[in-house]
Structure formats: structure tokens, C-alpha cells
Amino acid sequence: MEPTETTVSRGNAKELVASLEGPRESFLVVDENVLVHHPFVGEASTKRFVVPSGEEHKSWETLGRLLEAMDEARVDRGDQLIAFGGGVTTDLAGLGASLYRRGLPWIAVPTTLIGQVDAACGGKTAVNLAGGKNAVGTFHLPSQLVVDPDFLTTLPLRQVQSGMVELLKTAILEGEDLLTLVEALEPASFIQTDSADQADRVIACALTVKESFVKDDVKDEGPRWMLNLGHSFGHAFEALALPDLLHGEAIGLGLLCAARLGTHQGGEAGLEERLRKTLDTWGLPLTPPEGRASDPDALLDTMRRDKKVRKGQSTVILPLSPGRVEVMNGPSQEALRMGLEAVLEPIST
Ligand code: NAD
């Protein structure tokens, strides 16, 4: 697969739209809220599909409607798809681009924090099925990744908070320097332009870390698994709490569970509490909502059905200390239960 050309700068999305006239015609896939808050995006193309807001629309049905819309617009193999939106839109659009006429090039323009530091980078595309998150997907790298932090100024605070968890995950993987930098951030840093330098720096740093994991393992066969830190537990919370927990909120809970298990495997004793304090300061939930997302049996059952399970064996990435993680293959049910206790029976501080 051809590598992605990545740029991070304020105003680069407008430059992209202004430069789109060329040999390839563009088909626009855009999140409905992005079109309202940033109407210049509509100038990318009159041929378009608007993605309704919400994880429930990252579905087989929406994918079918997107492919039909591309067909009705007579998109052909000489054209390209250009996607503006959060992870829901880029996951869906990337999948559409990889399937339509056996594959079109696509440009990703992420407009949420999760999208900018994670979802739009690395070519993983997907939609959910009733029984599993990201159950259908492909690997299809965008030809360009255009990251413009100005989009974040209109993002609801809760979405920013949720995105900061993916930053926290990346920082744990990278090491103490980035972790310290990320911990010192406030959600407002991403919304207000007077803290633009700091926000832009951290976004660019996190992207570089993610790209370094993807570079040698585009198809997710080894090194890239580390990026799933917090996700084995997190996806179970997300699936069972929908629509009450956002993706990053669920991954935050997953990080705490993984850290609890990591400590039992010889990891740094204070890491779980350090992460808990950061999540708390940023205003993120430390326990799942009541109901099935708080039921250990339902959570374990959901983890067993995760798409990463191979021959019945799941894999959990354990953080041992900043910059040091370990892959735990086939954890026992007791070990997973012990991890879940980090959020089902929180330690009082
Ligand atoms: P999202 O795409 O649902 O966007 C969140 C909300 O923000 C939506 O309501 C959207 O309409 C709105 N929005 C988007 N940009 C906006 C802007 N600039 N101003 C105002 N509102 C805006 O969610 P998300 O958090 O970006 O992404 C979560 C998804 O990403 C999940 O489905 C997750 O599985 C996926 N993901 C994928 C990868 C990957 O490698 N492919 C990695 C991480 C997450």
C-alpha cells in the first residue's frame, strides 16, 4: 500500500478544498455537523453523501446507502473520495472507498480529536454489526491525511474530553516525556485558539507515534497491536453502554482495567492511580453506567466475542510503566475479572 502523505497545520483543509480541481473528481463524504459548522467543506464537491451523527450510523445500512449514492453519482475508478468528519465518518468512508469498484483513492480530513490523533491515521476502516464493533472492515490507507486543528474549535467539550483519552493512550505507549505533556493539558486547550501552539504540538506528536506503529505493520499483525492498549476492555464497555458512553470514555475505563492487570504482572504500582487522577481532572467517567456495562459476566461475554479473539483466545495489552507495555495472550477469566475491578469496585482516593 502506498504510504499516506500527512500534514498538520491550521488552514490546510481550506487549502485542500481550494486545490481540488484536477484530473480526479471528488466525491464528498461529510459528517452532518461538520457541514453546518464548517460550510466551506461543501465546496469540495457537489457529489456528496452526508453521514448522520452518531456511532449507530457506522453501520452496514449506512455503508449500503453510501455505495448506492456513489453509484448514482456515477463515480468511477478515476475519481477519489474525500471524507470530512470524526472516526465514524472516516471509518465508514474509508471502507466505502476500499469496496467501491474494488477500490478508489481517498483523502481523510479528520475533524474530531479522536479522528486527528487516531482514527483517520493508519488505514483501518470499518462498520459495526449488531454483535460486534468494527466487525466488518478493510485496510485501506488514505492517500492524504489532512489534519487541521481549527476544526476542533467547534467540537462539543465532551467530544474533546473523549478524544483526550486516545492521546493519553498514545502517551503511555511513547513514554514519560509525552505523558507528562499530555497530563498537563486541559480540554479547553483544544477549543481555544490562544492555546493553539500547545494543542498543535501534542496532536502532531501523537500522530507521529501512531504512524511509527503503523509503518511496519499496516495489516495489524504484530507491533500495531500495542495501539489497542485499553481497547479490549474498552470496546466491551462501549458496546454494552451504547449510546451512553463515547468511544474515548469507554477506552478510559479500559485503560484503568489494563493498568490494574499490568500491576499484577509486575508493572509500576502507581500507574493506575496516576491515570485515574488524569481522567478525573479532565472530567471523564471512572465507572461505567449502571446496567449491562457494569455486569462483569456481560462484559466478559462481550470480550470473548471481540473481533481480535483468535481461536477463542483474546489478547490484552498491559501498560507496565510509561513507554513499556506487554502483550498478554489468552488471559484467564479470573485475570480479566481482576482487571474489571478497577472500575467496578473503584479504590477510594
Ligand atoms: P464521531 O465521528 O461520532 O464524532 C463525534 C461527534 O462530533 C459527532 O456528533 C459529530 O457529528 C461531531 N463532530 C465531528 N466533527 C465536528 C466538529 N469539528 N465540530 C462539531 N461537531 C463535530 O466520533 P469520534 O469520536 O470522532 O470517533 C469515534 C469512532 O472512531 C468510533 O467508531 C471508533 O471505533 C473509531 N475509531 C477508529 C480508529 C481507527 O483506527 N480506524 C481508531 C480510533 C477510533
CA distances from 143 to 82, 151, 210, 331 (A): 10, 20, 16, 38
Secondary structure (DSSP) of 99-126:
HGGG---EEEEE-SHHIIIIITSS-EEE
For 195, half-sphere exposure in the C-beta direction (CA atoms, 13 angstrom radius) is 15
- The runs of H, that is alpha helices, within the chain are 12-18, 32-37, 60-72, 87-99, 113-114, 157-174, 176-183, 188-191, 196-215, 231-241, 247-264, 271-281, 296-304, 333-344
Please check the confidence at residue 308 and state whether its pLDDT lies above 90: no
Please check the confidence at residue 157 and state whether its pLDDT lies above 70: yes
Burial of 18 (0-12, 13-18, 19+ CB in 10 A): exposed
> Which one-letter amino acid corresponds to residue 217?
D
**Cβ–ligand 1 contact at 111 (below 6 Å):** yes
Q: Whose CA is nearest to atom 17 of ligand 1?
A: 155
Three-class secondary structure of residue 186 per DSSP: coil
Residues 79-135: tens digit of each pLDDT:
999 999 999 999 999 999 999 999 999 999 999 999 999 999 999 999 999 877 889
CA 187 – ligand 1 centroid, Å: 16
CA 160 – ligand 1 centroid, Å: 10
pLDDT at 348: 47
Secondary structure (DSSP) of 277-294:
HHHHHTT--SSPPSSGGG
How much is the pTM?
A: 0.94
Burial of 298 (0-12, 13-18, 19+ CB in 10 A): middle
Residues 278-298: tens digit of each pLDDT:
999 999 999 999 999 999 999
Cβ of 73: how many Cβ atoms within 10 Å?
17
**Residue 82's beta-bridge partner residues?**
28, 107
* Per-residue confidence band for 22, with pLDDT thresholds at 50, 70 and 90: confident
**Cβ–ligand 1 contact at 112 (below 6 Å):** yes
Compute the Cα dihedral for 119, 197, 175, 287 and give only its sign.
negative
* Per-residue confidence band for 311, with pLDDT thresholds at 50, 70 and 90: low
**Cβ–ligand 1 contact at 159 (below 6 Å):** yes
Please check the confidence at residue 349 and state whether its pLDDT lies above 50: no
Residues 230-247: tens digit of each pLDDT:
999 999 999 899 889 999
Residues 190-228: tens digit of each pLDDT:
998 777 888 899 999 999 999 999 998 999 888 899 999
**Cβ–ligand 1 contact at 238 (below 6 Å):** no
Ligand 1 atom, smallest distance to 134 CA: 34
Ligand 1 atom, smallest distance to 125 CA: 41
**Cβ–ligand 1 contact at 151 (below 6 Å):** yes
Please check the confidence at residue 347 and state whether its pLDDT lies above 50: no
